């Protein structure tokens, strides 16, 4: 039996899963499948040894770009009628009166026919396909700003550009039938035309001999050579290197400390002359935090995640009201405090505030105050590599209510002495009853005033059940891209059950339930039986979140303190070391209070 080896370049995770599932059914076909965005696909291809592959499978403009970089046969996965039908069906659940379908391919006739077949109530605009990314961006900008389109369906480029404008998007994903056809086409091409890859390549030889992660970029920021993918460096590092080119060009030789993914990286950049052209050579290595076993005391939030959060907020009617009230202040550096019950979407809202601010070109640094012990706090305050030493960045203080009182006082002093709120945009989130904690002296009134120039109260999900269909659609769109599934919607009875369910833990719980529904669903529509089974398990699962201890303020201070200790101990699942750190006391003191 003739054997074939395919290379898959997946523009999204669900594509990767479907392609691997289809290949597993064929004993004479093996494949390696990589995930890469439109911007990273060519860079990824240049790092791979293509001599062992017979053909490449990709999709859309990603495939078109890859074809220009290799002699290997390339098969682009088509949009099947089923793929288009699933996307249009998902659009039926939206509140929007007007939507647009945009791809680089001309699918207008097919889409028009299917939308009429579905009796789609939403007005669907079908503009002529753009030829370039610039035309795509201009087209989507015109539809959004002049035509009032707020829902875009199409390929990856369409959803990426539309998300940048804050619109909601539906990516037309490829199903199993499209994958099967693409594999059949690839095998047919290979049978008739097996190409031999070039054996001698300067950059491939360099890759084989070099043990140092390096990347070479030209003056326009295009990757000439890179082996970073083979050194566990994240794909996003190439975009970061492009942004560093102006500084390297000016200084000729420069060093940087950059947060990429979950690690810090030391980057050394210098100019080199190659064939009469000035290029930029970067070498990278992990920094202090990158080699530590302990997690760093802060995270850098990806801009795409923040922009996705903004789209989710704009599709939420109640939160959209909060959003509109905030916009006139969002261009300033006035600190924003977002407060509300558990699961109300405070972090998502905070990400959206950052994405819509004028500081979104600079990093969003997220600090989880629940795990901010004394050592990490001093590291943030004193280490010159700390993000708190930067200017014009956005700093998110998550769950400031969990800071021990001593740590609150230290943070308040640091904000004042370092002029932190004047140098940077500060956003904080607060869970629980703010007024009670302040009046009970459990939270610093001075720190509250420092952080709450603009207070934003988020209502609970149970107060806005009319938003659940829109939230479900947004979450389902994201899940369809992350997993090899094609769930297109809910039966009416299923949606009614979701709307009437008591969501004690808000949108976080709703998102978890939707993922469980997608995994367990037997059909492309989630029905009432599916929802009943998952909600029954969710109700029985008491470990989803601990039941909060109600503080009786009429009791003595010692009794209230003991209640608080038990609350933190429960949140830390009985771990006394972490509980003591959270409370700002020694473990021996904690033991005495628990056994006194």
pLDDT tens, residue by residue, 483-500:
777 788 898 998 999 888
Confidence class of residue 295 from pLDDT cuts 50, 70 and 90?
Answer: very low
Q: What percent of the chain has pLDDT over 70?
A: 83
Q: What is the pTM of this model?
A: 0.48
Examine the pLDDT at 210 and tell me if it is beyond 70.
Answer: no
Sign of the C-alpha dihedral, residues 191, 195, 199, 204? negative
pLDDT of 553-563, one tens digit each? 555 666 667 76
- CA torsion sign for 179, 184, 185, 189 is positive
Same fold across 462-544 and 557-595: no
Backbone angles phi, psi at 119, to 5 degrees: 55, 50
Residues 6 or more apart whose Cβ sits within 8 Å of residue 588: none
The full set of domain ranges for the chain reads: 4-77+176-192, 81-171, 202-291, 299-459, 462-544, 557-595
pLDDT at 518: 85
Cα separation, 87 vs 480, in Å, equals: 11
Q: What is the pLDDT of residue 197?
A: 39
Q: What is the pLDDT of residue 99?
A: 92
- 202-291 CATH fold: Beta-Lactamase (3.30.450)
pLDDT digits (tens, 9 = 90+) for 316-331: 665 676 777 777 777 7
Confidence of residue 549 (pLDDT cuts 50, 70, 90): very low
203/200 Cα distance (integer angstroms): 9
Q: What is the pLDDT of residue 291?
A: 41
pLDDT band of 547, cuts 50, 70, 90: very low
Helix (H, G, I), strand (E, B) or coil at 38: coil
In angstroms, the CA 94 to CA 150 distance is 10
Mean pLDDT along residues 102-124: 89
Tell me the CATH architecture of domain 462-544.
Answer: Orthogonal Bundle (1.10)
Least confident interval from 188-192, 525-529, 544-548: 544-548
pLDDT of 138-164, one tens digit each? 999 999 999 999 999 998 889 889 999
Q: What is the pLDDT of residue 207?
A: 47
Q: Tell me the CATH number of domain 299-459, given options 3.40.50.150, 1.20.1050.140, 3.30.1600.10, 3.40.50.300.
A: 3.40.50.300
| Start-to-end C-alpha separation, the chain | 76
Low-confidence winner among 19-33, 260-274, 340-354, 466-480 (lowest mean pLDDT): 260-274
**Is the pLDDT reported for residue 171 higher than 60?**
yes
Q: How far apart are CA 204 and CA 85, in angstroms?
A: 43
Give 235's pLDDT tier (boundaries 50, 70, 90).
low
Of the listed ranges 32-36, 325-329, 547-551, the least confidently predicted one is 547-551
Q: Which residues contact 429 (CB under 8 A, 6 or more apart)?
A: 337, 338, 339, 346, 347, 350, 396, 397, 398, 399, 400
- Residue of higher predicted confidence among 467 and 415: 415
Q: What is the CATH number of domain 4-77+176-192?
A: 3.40.50.2300
**Predicted local distance difference test score (pLDDT) of residue 100:** 94
Out of 27-41, 221-235, 309-323, 475-489, the most confident range is 27-41
Q: Give the model's pLDDT for residue 205.
A: 61
Measure the CA–CA gap between 33 and 468, rounded to whole angstroms: 35
Average pLDDT over residues 387-403: 87
Residue 420 confidence (pLDDT): 93
Q: Which of 223-227, 231-235, 355-359 has the lowest mean pLDDT?
A: 231-235
Quote the radius of gyration of the chain (alpha carbons, Å).
Answer: 27
The CATH number of 81-171 is 3.40.50.10660
At 75 the pLDDT is: 92
pLDDT of residue 294: 46
Residue 121 burial (CB count, 10 A): 11
Averaged confidence pLDDT in the chain: 81
pLDDT mean over 238-252: 85
pLDDT of 292 > 70? The answer is no
Q: Does domain 557-595 have CATH number 3.40.50?
A: no
Cβ atoms within 10 Å of 6's Cβ, excluding its own: 25
Q: How confident is the model at residue 548 (pLDDT cuts 50, 70, 90)?
A: very low
């Amino acid at each position: 039996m003739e054997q074939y080896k395919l290379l898959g370049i997946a523009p999204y995770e669900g594509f990767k899963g479907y392609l691997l599932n289809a290949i597993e059914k064929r004993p004479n076909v093996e494949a390696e499948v990589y995930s890469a965005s439109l911007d990273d696909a060519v860079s990824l291809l240049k790092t791979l040894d293509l001599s062992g592959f017979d053909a490449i499978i990709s999709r859309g403009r990603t495939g078109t770009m890859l074809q220009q970089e290799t002699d290997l046969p390339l098969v682009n996965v088509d949009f099947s009628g089923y793929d288009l039908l699933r996307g249009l069906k998902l659009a039926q659940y939206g509140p929007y009166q007007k939507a647009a379908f945009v791809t680089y391919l001309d699918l207008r006739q097919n889409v028009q026919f299917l939308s009429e077949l579905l009796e789609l109530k939403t007005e669907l605009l079908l503009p002529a396909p753009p030829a370039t990314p610039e035309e795509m961006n201009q087209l989507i900008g015109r539809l959004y700003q002049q035509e009032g389109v707020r829902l875009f369906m199409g390929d990856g480029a369409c959803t990426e550009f539309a998300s940048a404008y804050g619109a909601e998007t539906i990516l037309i994903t490829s199903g199993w039938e499209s994958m099967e056809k693409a594999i059949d086409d690839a095998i047919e091409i290979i049978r008739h035309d097996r190409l031999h890859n070039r054996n001698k390549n300067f950059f491939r030889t360099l890759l084989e001999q070099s043990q140092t992660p390096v990347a070479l970029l030209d003056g326009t920021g295009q990757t000439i050579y890179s082996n970073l993918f083979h050194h566990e460096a994240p794909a996003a590092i190439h975009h970061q290197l492009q942004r560093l080119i102006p500084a390297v060009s000016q200084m000729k030789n420069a060093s940087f400390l950059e947060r990429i993914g979950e690690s810090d990286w030391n980057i050394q950049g210098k100019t080199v002359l190659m064939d009469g052209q000035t290029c930029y050579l970067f070498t990278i290595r992990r920094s202090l935090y990158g080699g530590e076993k302990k997690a760093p005391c802060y995270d850098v939030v990806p801009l795409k995640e923040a922009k996705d959060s903004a789209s989710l907020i704009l599709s939420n009617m109640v939160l959209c009201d909060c959003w509109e009230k905030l916009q006139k202040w969002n261009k300033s550096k006035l600190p924003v405090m977002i407060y509300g019950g558990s699961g109300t979407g405070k972090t998502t809202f905070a990400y959206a505030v950052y994405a819509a601010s004028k500081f979104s070109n600079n990093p969003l640094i997220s600090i989880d105050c629940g795990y901010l012990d004394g050592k990490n706090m001093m590291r943030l305050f004193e280490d010159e590599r700390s993000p708190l030493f930067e200017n014009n960045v956005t700093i998110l203080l998550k769950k400031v209510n969990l800071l021990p009182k001593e740590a609150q006082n230290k943070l308040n002093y640091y904000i004042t002495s370092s002029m932190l709120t004047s140098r940077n945009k500060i956003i904080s989130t607060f869970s629980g009853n703010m007024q009670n904690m302040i009046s009970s002296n459990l939270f610093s009134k001075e720190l509250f005033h420092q952080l709450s120039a603009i207070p934003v109260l988020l209502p609970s999900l149970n107060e806005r059940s009319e938003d659940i269909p829109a939230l479900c659609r947004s979450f389902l769109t994201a899940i369809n891209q992350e997993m090899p599934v094609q769930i297109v919607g809910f039966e009416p009875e299923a949606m009614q059950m979701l709307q009437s369910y008591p969501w004690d833990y808000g949108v976080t719980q709703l998102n978890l339930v939707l993922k469980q529904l997608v995994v367990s669903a037997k059909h492309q529509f989630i029905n009432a039986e599916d929802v009943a089974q998952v909600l029954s398990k969710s109700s029985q699962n008491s470990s989803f979140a601990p039941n909060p201890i109600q503080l009786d303020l009429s009791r003595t201070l010692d009794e209230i303190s003991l209640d608080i200790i038990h609350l933190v101990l429960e949140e830390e699942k009985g771990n006394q070391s972490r509980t003591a750190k959270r409370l700002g006391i020694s473990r021996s003191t904690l033991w005495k209070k628990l056994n006194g």
